[in-house]
Amino acid sequence: MIKKSILLASFIIILSSLSNYNDSNSSLEDDKDIIFWSSNKKLIWKDFKGIPDTLNSIMLAGTCSDINFEYNSSNNLLTDYKVECTFIKSKSWTITDDPQILAHEQLHFDISELYARKIRKAFDSLKIKNNNFIENYTIIYESNIIKRNDLNKLYDSQVYGNTILQQRWIKKIKSDLLKLKKYEYTY
């Protein structure tokens, strides 16, 4: 029998969506498989509905967060957009109920929200400049997704089994989110 040790590591499935939208039935708001990031709601273990990867992984939990960029356009010019940070229940999983690991997973979701806010801020800057070419928005979106993925990897590598560093990361990301509070979506 193989005994798994408790690891403060996370398996992150990073999904990034780039699509056109219209305001009819395509909105994510109706999807019960997702949770929109909110400062008023923290993840709980019951939110993790996915099937654990116990055969190929030594990890105890996996978080799937997504930054969706949806837009309307006309003549290759962006006319409207939304950038939403979501947690996907069916692709997030756990085999533990450890509160430290839950805090670790929550911070991965918070990191995705941080980058969603950075994207919104950059998009607002383009909009103010009347720079509405879809390509410019796409470049910003894609570069921030890469930065988000890199920060998640750095986070995992630095806090692996270290609760002191975990707390430092939580404080840092919380501070960064506060600096970009203006770009928080409320649902």
Q: Indicate if the pLDDT at residue 14 is higher than 90.
A: no
To 10 degrees, the CA torsion angle through 33, 36, 38, 42?
20
Q: State the pLDDT at residue 16.
A: 38
Q: Cα dist. 35→12, 32, 40, 57, 162 in Å?
A: 16, 8, 12, 25, 28
Q: How far apart are alpha carbons 43 and 102 in whole angstroms?
A: 8
Q: State the pLDDT at residue 58.
A: 81
The residue among 16 and 158 whose pLDDT is bigger is 158
Q: How far apart are alpha carbons 104 and 153 in whole angstroms?
A: 13
Q: Is 21 helix (H, G, I), strand (E, B) or coil?
A: coil
